Structure 1
Amino acid sequence: MKSLSLAKPLAIMMIGLPGAGKSQFAKQFSDMFSAPVCSLNRLRYELFNSPSFQPQEYEILKRVVCYQIEELSKTGKSFIIDGACNALAERRDLAGIVRKNGYDTLVVWVQTDEPTARLRSVKRGRNDHLAEHQTMNLPAFESELKRLNPPAAAENYVVISGKHTFSTQARAVLKKLAAPRAETVQNHSVVRNQDIHAHAAPAHLKPPARRVQIT
């Protein structure tokens, strides 16, 4: 099993429409890197025999998710948050929790066209192999659609397609995670070069260039 070699532990926030493929990616990424998943929908079907998808139910689940994240962020290990992330305000609250314990955050936006996502979310059922993949009614889908805020410019995020293979999705995420490391190396190189130039002798102190006479 692989591990994520990162300078700081990471909290990965999954966002996207219901049926986009967030939970499928989260499960496979979790299996690949042994990263725990905090799943709102998994909690929903553990706590409620007949979920109503009403706002009161969602608020209860959000509180449980926040509690789980507070505890997970004490471990210093990277983990995935699948649910309670679609709204920008929710992501800011979650980021505030994990950053107190030295975590970085990455928003993974799983994009799937709305008709496909709607069809997936309302036609799946309890026979699905993931507990997160349960039937959602149309009003609940529309509610999530309204809640979804695209990543803000200040957020660290990557976009993947919910119709691509997991290997393609994972490569995109890992490339994003590698980017800051490459940027750091480049910045160190720039600073080093600037330091060398700063310590170079002033032009008026440099020895004159030697002239080579060819006869």
Structure 2
Amino acid sequence: MIVFVFGLPGSGKSYFASRLAKMIHASYVNSDRVRKELFGQSIYSHQEKKMVYDTMLNKTKEALATGENLVLDATFHKKETRDTFIKQLSGQGRFFFIGIHSIESTIRKRLKKNRPYSEADFEVYKLIQHQWEPFTEQHLKLESTNNIEEMLVKAAQYIGWKHDTGTDK
């Protein structure tokens, strides 16, 4: 099973995605960490983003080949990027999309805090918000406040995760 967690910088997607991965015993691939490993300091260029998503796609193919569950954490703000993943992974497993949203005042506060891998600030948030292409694929929408347990329960129900046995459907 592959779970795509998407949203704008500062939305809370990484906080959520890392905890979801632990809950469902899945590997976790974070775009900020991949970017940091590939480039060190980021400039968020188109070419840089492409290389990050290509690396994530390769890691996803590896997970599918070995039968492991995977949580992907990235903005996935471009339809072309999402379509590439969907097309290249079609028929290879089950996929779920979960969108994380938050109000702008909360995002602004979060982006002022130091985060281990992300360099995105409010300007990057505004840029990606401006570039955002509508997400038309079926997905679960979650509002991120201070409700991580509630979000995880909703996500588990959405993906069909059985808490009591530690396995998925």
TM over 0.5: yes
Where does residue 173 of structure 1 map in the other structure? Answer: 155
Aligned counterpart in structure 2 of residue 151 of structure 1, from 124, 135, 158: 135
Contact 2:21/2:71 (8 A) holds in 1: yes
Instruction: Output the amino acid matched with 1:171.
Output: V
Higher Cα Rg: structure 1 or 2? 1
- Alpha-carbon RMSD: 2.1
Tell me the amino acid that sits aligned with residue 24 of structure 2: F
Inter-CA distance 159–26: structure 2 relative to 1 (3 Å threshold): same
Would the aligned equivalents of 2:7 and 2:75 in 1 still touch at CA under 8 Å?
A: no
Counterparts in 2 of 1:179-198, with a 5 A limit? none
Aligned equivalents of 2:75 and 2:120: distance in 1?
Answer: 16
Q: 1:160, 1:67 → 2: CA distance? A: 27
Q: Which moved more, 1:27-36 or 1:60-69?
A: 60-69
How many Å separate the matches in 1 of 2:123 and 2:10? Answer: 14
Q: CA deviation at 1:58?
A: 1.4
Q: In structure 2, list runs of 5 or more residues that go unmatched.
A: 161-169
TM-score between both structures, scaled by the size of structure 2? 0.83
Q: Determine the structure 2 residue equivalent to 1:136.
A: 120
Q: Look up the SS of the partner of 1:73 in the other structure.
A: helix
- TM-score, normalised by the number of residues in structure 1: 0.67
Maintained 8 Å contact 1:18/1:118: no
Q: C-alpha separation between the residues in 1 aligned to 2:131 and 2:57?
A: 18
Determine if the alignment matches structure 1 residue 16 to structure 2 residue 7.
Answer: yes
* Paired residue total: 161
Provide the C-alpha distance between the structure 2 equivalents of 1:171 and 1:76, rounded to a whole number of angstroms. Answer: 24
- Aligned partners of 1:176 and 1:37: how far apart in 2? 18
Q: Relative CO higher for 1 or 2, CA cutoff 8 Å, sep ≥ 6?
A: 2
CA–CA distance in structure 2, aligned partners of residues 88 and 59 of structure 1: 13
Give the deviation of 1:169 after TM superposition. 0.3
The structure whose residues are more often strand, as a share, is 2
Check whether the contact 1:107–1:158 (CA below 8 A) recurs between aligned residues: yes
